[in-house]
A and B are shown apart, each in its own frame.
Chain A
Amino acid sequence: MKIGLYPGCSMEGGSKEYRESVYAVAKAFNIELVNVPDWNCCGATAAHNLNKVLSLALPARILALAEQAGLEEIVVPCAACYSRLVMTQHELSLHHELKEEVVDALGMKYEGSSKILNVIQFIEKYILPELEKKVSHPFAKKVACYYGCLLVRPHKVLQFDRYDDPMTMDNVMNKLGADAIDWAFKVECCGAGFSVSNTQAVATLSGKIMDDATHRGAEAVIVACPMCHSNLDMRRPQIDKYLGRKTKIPVIYITQAIGMAIGIDKKELGLQRHFVPVDLILDRKQIVAEENVELTK
């Protein structure tokens, strides 16, 4: 099965391990991911603060390229890219004149027909049905699934999950054998792009997230957004300073978690690339014991 993939900048750079794990998991489920050819920047936060048409034209070009390549579905692992692409498709479907202007700027045909999936939707549709039988190393840990802002909002446009208390990732993690905890900061802001310009704000906001997750006994935070990941992982020293205590729990991409549970090698999942070391040992003994029971039957 072939599905399109729009990597965006972060997957090529700071969040390489996210791309690695997405590919590794897709491969394990016999799904071929094809990059949108000649893709460009989605415009991120910068474009829509400066120029409306530009902020729509950049994602529209990506969508137009995907259409040209005959990709009916595109997986967009980065939550910010996902948001920009969906918002563009939505706006252009509503405003005909804007669409003409954008198409004119692109000099390409644009239909807006590609279906855009975030990573969780991709997993829900293609991985989840086959997931349980592939789990070899149950993720027997208490985990806090963290969605952040862009995966679920604005709800009117995305129509994805419950925006106040999304559960899709929690369900996936429960299927992996984890105990997805009920916690209070699932969709709070991590500080996002302030990571560079206002680190203190990120330390405060992400600090509150880490505080609640650790307070409720989470052994890992599961994410599906490179920005969330870098703030919770890379900014951990600042977070710990803000909290006045060491929070040791790792931040893991949902695709990495799936990979770990179905027995993909740590390196293939890029787990060594994190700032906060991922030293979770998934309980093998239990699995072996269960296998023995199966055999004696």
Chain B
Amino acid sequence: MSRIGVFVCHCGENISATVDCAKVAEVASELQGVVHSVDYKYMCSDPGQTLIKEAIKEKGLTSVVVAACSPRMHEPTFRKACAEGGINPFLCEMANVREHCSWVHDKGEVTTSKAIDLVRTLVQKVKYNEPLYPIKVPVTKTALVIGGGVAGIQAALDIANCGHQVVMVEREPSIGGHMSMLSETFPTLDCSQCILTPRMVEVAQHPNITLYTYSEVESVEGFVGNFKVKIRKKARDLDENLCTGCGLCTTKCPQKKIPSEFEQGLGFRTAIYTPFPQAVPNKPVIDRHNCTYYIKGKCKVCEIVCPTKAIRFNQEDTILDLEIGAIVLATGYDIKRTDFFPEYGYGKYKDVIDGLQFERLASASGPTGGAIRRPSDGKEPKKIVFIACAGSRDPAKGIEYCSKFCCMYTAKHAMLYKHKVHDGDAYVFYMDIRAGGKNYDEFTRRAIEADGAKYVRGRVSRIYERDGKYIVVGTDTLMGAKPMEVEADMVVLATAATASPGAEELAQKMHVSYDAYKFFAEAHPKLKPVETNTAGIFVAGACQAPKDIPDSVSMASGTAVKVAALFSNDELTRDPSVAVVNRTAPPMYSTCVGCFLCKSVCPYNAIEEEEIKDRQGNIIKRLAKVNPGLCQGCGTCVALCRIKAIDIHGYTNKQVYAEVEALLNEL
């Protein structure tokens, strides 16, 4: 027989201003099973909680209903109080009479009667509550960091420095990501490679970090603390233990005219190559699509010249099986290329380039050694136009968001150009200058005031080529709103930042949500910015949304703390509100008939097939089984189960029906 206590909170005046709390308590005291019912000004305060604890002891309460705010606010508080009072915390329920009642209705009898109804339903429910105990799962204290850009590097180093093992996986032959391609960084104009390469080396040399480059995640199974990850280590055609990185193979390779990905197509590489001289690891790969041996069946010059005999033609990919406790996604971003812009020439004009290409032109290690030259004829451009928001904030292009870092890098580009071409003219067409950030606005002002970049507020409608010049047709919306044309030698488009290729596929492998633009979704836009909605998987850097280096690095350090916190326990405690398939005595074993509809709809892959065997090992029955480590308690399987064989602990069908019945039956 239940002995229920009801505690009605005034929440100062938040509830009592519109709800007659004393009456709620009075009516509740007459409900069947209720042996104690009081109201109090602040139930969450210390004296309020003491009321509950003492009542449990003195009146021998078996369960408790607190009529107060949303359970999202204070359920943990009251459950803790109940535990201290001596009952299982899951025997405490909350009736939300604030957000669901007093805040949204006017003062009056109807409002009070709604509050009473809410209390009645929970009183009925709590009669069927059962004691629950937190689920414990073990933790593998190794983190997987996917992506070796600046965010991944930061996350890996921070986690490794906490003393945990880290595996870093990067799909390119070298780590470094986009940051390694940049010339200088805003707002300090310090050299990007100079600050990044030491950190890349640190990753390679850190005793706690295992680095797999030219590798991709093949599959992910398991759950927080217990992921099982398969990594495909793509064939480099190289014995990495023998290779010393001397570079002889790359200098002797006869294929010398392959557009370099690292140089954004502005420079060339060989078929056996390292993306750039500071690559980590400094071990080449063979690009089979362009290698003479793979195309024609003979060459093998690299094999002949290699002093350590490290080349291995026809090497096969290897698959690695890893046990992982937590995962950091740091897969970065991509940008739209110039061919996305029909109005700017469909990418057919060689001197209309994107921001990353300009970075390579301006970089001291770039194809021109840092001299600004037109890709078409190698001449120094005397008039250059930068177009901000190329694609970004443009619903007509299907990209409604701001790419965030373009305003800053466009100002930087204009500056770098003016520093290198003193007699040159730099125009910047912009919509707004978004320079929020420490020393950011000062930086853009410097580009305009000190370096004389000509900022024109207006959009560019099109670009066409005429006699080797590019006619940029735009509008100056501030100076008389007139159409204007600039005859430029070169145009740089600050193209929209987009999700990294393959992001969607990876998100699906990981069971991580992503937005309409394929950026990974954080669990909460404000309060859980580095978590995903899958426990144990975190997100850092521009794979979540376009962001600059400082933001990516801070976010990465944030994920590192989350991972370290996860690894600070030997076991994980999880909320026991998970789905459970019922079990009964043989020969039924369960009312589950093994249709596995639940398995197909579970968003977390938490449902497994279980075989019931007799003593001879013959399979008698197949049942669904919920992995409590993976289940998030969403209830989709419960709704779908045709025979009601699944229930969620704390929200069983019985409990929900009791609530509905209470509402249907008048007092």
Question: Which segment, of B101-109, B464-472, B550-558, B623-631, faces chain A?
Answer: B464-472
- On chain B, the residues within 8 Å of A184 by CB distance are 462, 464-466, 471
A165 within 8 A of B: yes
Whole-angstrom CA separation of A162 from B465 in the bound complex? 19
Show 16 residue pairs from A and B whose CB-CB distance is below 8 angstroms, ordered by the A residue: A162-B342, A163-B342, A164-B342, A164-B343, A164-B346, A164-B462, A165-B342, A165-B346, A184-B462, A184-B464, A184-B465, A184-B466, A184-B471, A212-B464, A212-B466, A215-B466
Residues on A with C-beta less than 8 A from B342 are 162-165
- When C-beta atoms are compared, the residue in chain B nearest to A187 turns out to be B462
Query: Chain B CB within 10 Å — which of A162, A164, A212, A215 has the most?
Result: A164
CB distance from B142 to the nearest CB of A (A): 51
For A216, give the chain B residue with the smallest CB separation: B466
Chain B residues near A212 (CB-CB < 8 A): 464, 466
Q: How far is the CA of A191 from the CA of B554 in the complex (A)?
A: 55
Residues of A within 8 A of B346 (CB): 164-165
Specify the chain B residue showing the minimal Cβ separation from A165: B342
Of all chain B residues, the one with the shortest Cβ separation from A188 is B462
A155 vs chain B, min Cβ distance (A): 10
CB distance from B473 to the nearest CB of A (A): 9
- Per the bound structure, the CA–CA distance linking A184 and B342 in Å amounts to 12
Residues of A within 8 A of B471 (CB): 184
Q: State in angstroms the CA–CA spacing of A215 and B342 once bound together.
A: 22
335-389 of chain B: CB within 8 A of chain A: 342-343, 346
Query: How many Å lie between the Cα of A215 and that of B469 in the bound state?
Result: 14
Interface residue ranges, A against B (CB under 8 Å)? 162-165, 184, 212, 215
CB-CB nearest in chain B for A162? B342
Q: Report the Cα distance A165→B464, complex, angstroms.
A: 11
Task: Collect the chain A residues with CB atoms within 8 Å of residue B466's CB.
Answer: 184, 212, 215
> What residue of chain B has the Cβ atom nearest to residue A163's Cβ?
B342
Closest to B343 in A: A164
B321-347 interface code vs A (CB 8 A; 1 in, 0 out): 000000000000000000000110010
B interface SS class: strand
A22 and B346 CA atoms in complex are apart in Å by: 33
**Which 3 pairs, one residue from A and one from B, show the smallest C-beta to C-beta distance?**
A184-B464, A164-B342, A164-B343
Smallest beta-carbon distance A214→chain B, Å: 12
Supplied contacts A164-B343, A165-B342, A184-B471, 11 more A-B pairs, CB within 8 Å: A163-B342, A164-B346, A164-B462, A165-B346, A184-B462, A184-B464, A184-B465, A184-B466, A212-B464, A212-B466, A215-B466
CA distance A49 to B652 in the complex (A): 64
CB of A145, distance to nearest CB on chain B (Å): 15
Q: In whole angstroms, what is the CA distance A162 to B348 when docked?
A: 15
Instruction: List chain B residues, Cβ under 8 A from A162.
Output: 342
Instruction: Tell me the complex Cα distance, A215–B471, Å.
Output: 14
Q: How near does chain A come to B216, taking the closest CB pair, in angstroms?
A: 35
Name the interface residues of B458-494: CB closer than 8 Å to any CB of A: 462, 464-466, 471
A215 to B346, CA, bound (A): 22
Which residues on the B side are within 8 Å of A215 (C-beta)? 466
Question: CA–CA, A252 to B487, complex, Å?
Answer: 31
The smallest beta-carbon distance between B484 and chain A, in angstroms, is: 14
Q: Which residues of A contact B343 (CB under 8 A)?
A: 164
Instruction: Write the nearest CB–CB distance from A260 to chain B, whole angstroms.
Output: 29
Docked CA distance A127–B336 (Å) = 39
CB distance from B148 to the nearest CB of A (A): 38
Measured in the bound complex, the distance between the Cα atoms of B330 and A168 in whole Å is 45
Bound CA span A292–B462, Å: 48
Residues of A within 8 A of B464 (CB): 184, 212
**A165 vs B463: C-alpha distance when bound (angstroms):** 12
Task: Report Cα–Cα, A215/B465, bound state, in Å.
Answer: 12
Shortest Cβ gap from A193 to chain B (Å): 20
Q: How far is the CA of A162 from the CA of B342 in the complex (A)?
A: 9
**Which chain A residue shows the least CB distance to B345?**
A165
A168 to B342, CA, bound (A): 16
- Chain A residues with Cβ below 8 Å from B465 are 184
Residues in A neighbouring B462, C-beta threshold 8 A: 164, 184
Give bound CA distance, A213 to B466, whole Å: 11
Give chain B nearest CB distance to A65 CB in angstroms: 36
0/1 string, B541-566, CB within 8 A of A gives 1: 00000000000000000000000000
- Complex-state Cα separation, A183 to B465, whole angstroms: 9
| A212-B466 Cα distance, complex, nearest whole Å | 9
Contact indicator per residue, chain B 72-113, by CB within 8 Å of chain A (1) or not (0): 000000000000000000000000000000000000000000
Task: Closest B residue to A156 by CB, please name it.
Answer: B396
Contacts of A163 in B (CB 8 A): 342
Residue of A nearest to B344 (CB): A164
> Smallest Cβ distance from A160 to chain B, in angstroms?
15
A184 CA / B462 CA spacing, docked (Å): 9
Instruction: Report B517 CB to chain A, min CB distance, Å.
Output: 21
